[in-house]
Amino acid sequence: MRSVTAILQKIFTAQFYIQNTGFFLVLFYLLFGVVDSGSLLNYHRSLMMGFLEGSSFLLLVLALWALYGLKCVGFMMKVLQSQGYEFLYPTMGSLDKKTRFRQWFLLHNAIYLPVWIYAGIAVLIGLKHHYYVSAGIILVFNIAMSVWPLALYDRKLFQPDIFFFTGYLQRWINRRFTKPPVLYFLYELFTQFPRRILTAKLVSAMVLWLTFFLMHEGNYFDLRGLQLGVMLSVLLHLQLLSHHRVFDDTWLNFMENLPVSTLRHYGRMAAIYLIIWIPEIVMITVNAYTKTSWLSLLTVFCMALSLLMFFRSLLYFPKMNNELHVRYVLITCFVVLFMILGHYEWLAILLLQALSAIVFFRQYRRYEPYIEP
């Protein structure tokens, strides 16, 4: 049984944290990177006291935890219906009900653990300062978030053909709309993985909002500060890039054999990430068009698109798994950050575009899907 638990933890827990590396990097930045290290403990203590004392703030915090809980549930459900994991049905189904629910509980709470840690500390502080009602609400809420998905997982196990809203949406779109190739991946995201793209976009919007908020509070506008926020926003899209690679490997490998030039394939990739980043373009334009020139905004948009295209092109290298990809992404961000601080933004953009094109045109035709050893 211990070996079964270890295998399931690798399938669910390890993959969850690997696929959401960008999300947790940004979360770490928001919780620990925006505050001076000397006042970090006081900052989090004040934050916890704030939602322990105020009901409105507490509702907001509970809503954010609920969104993270739904993200965890969505990941578990998607793994269960993903190709290659069909063996989970006979494996989990052969266990008795008590053992099976214990496994679901361990798996779900392993990825819900960050909320449990923060909420547990908040409960202890609430009890210490006699906020028994707020502490009780937090405890009961997180117990509920840790228990209710178990029945959903078990239902999916014995009814694998369950259709959700996205299934009906997909059928409706298929009957009424013929998609061009540039929209294949976007269609896949919005119909099969809506929670994934919605989460990425919401957190990306929060990062950009925080960037503008900090500059507004300081009564200044710094284009380099905005570009730093944009880099963090791009990092949040790493899971979408990995999913794009899986989508191409699974569904679009036939396109390599079509009479379509590599240049058109490259243009399709650029158009995909331009469309994906349109919400951020609109948000930045609305908040910054009166504070800087259109050329400066164009620089910001080109930097984001260049980073996305380069990070996607890296995935055409053989043996480029998620861990290695994140390593190269962080090194690239480190170099680009110093070029931005030195006012070499357009040089960085040109280098990223050149490297993206070189990698893509060299690797696209010889690329083979990566298989984890």
Rounded to 5°, the CA angle 135-141-146 comes to: 125
Rounded to two decimals, the pTM is 0.61
170 within a domain of the structure (yes/no)? no
| pLDDT score of 46 more than 80 | yes
Do 221 and 98 share a domain, yes or no?
no
Report the C-alpha gap between 29 and 38 in whole angstroms.
16
31, part of any domain: yes
The DSSP line for 43-70 is HHHHHHHHHHH-HHHHHHHHHHHHHHHH
Q: In this structure, are 131 and 255 located in the same domain?
A: no
343: left (phi over 0), alpha (psi -120 to 50) or beta: left
Is the same domain home to 274 and 353? Answer: yes
Q: Rounded to whole angstroms, how far apart are CA atoms 59 and 233? A: 26
202 and 114 in a common domain:
no
* Number of domains comprising the chain: 2
Q: Are the beta carbons of 305 and 269 closer than 8 angstroms?
A: no
**229: pLDDT strictly greater than 80:** yes
Evaluate if residue 166 carries a pLDDT over 60: no
Parent domain of 330: 184-373
Same domain, residue pair 2 and 38 = yes
Nearest Cα neighbor of 207 from 190, 229, 186 is: 229
Domain boundary among 162, 193, 224: 162
Highest mean pLDDT among 74-88, 150-164, 258-272: 258-272
Residue 62 pLDDT > 60: yes
- Do residue 20 and residue 115 come from a single domain? yes
pLDDT tens track for 300-316: 999 999 999 999 999 99
Work out the end-to-end distance of the chain between its first and last CA atoms, rounded to an integer number of angstroms. Answer: 24
Could you report the per-residue pLDDT of 114-141, keeping only the tens digit for each?
899 989 999 999 898 888 888 899 999 9
Contacts of 231 (CB under 8 A, 6+ apart): 303, 307, 333, 336, 337
Is-contact 259 227, C-beta < 8 A?
no
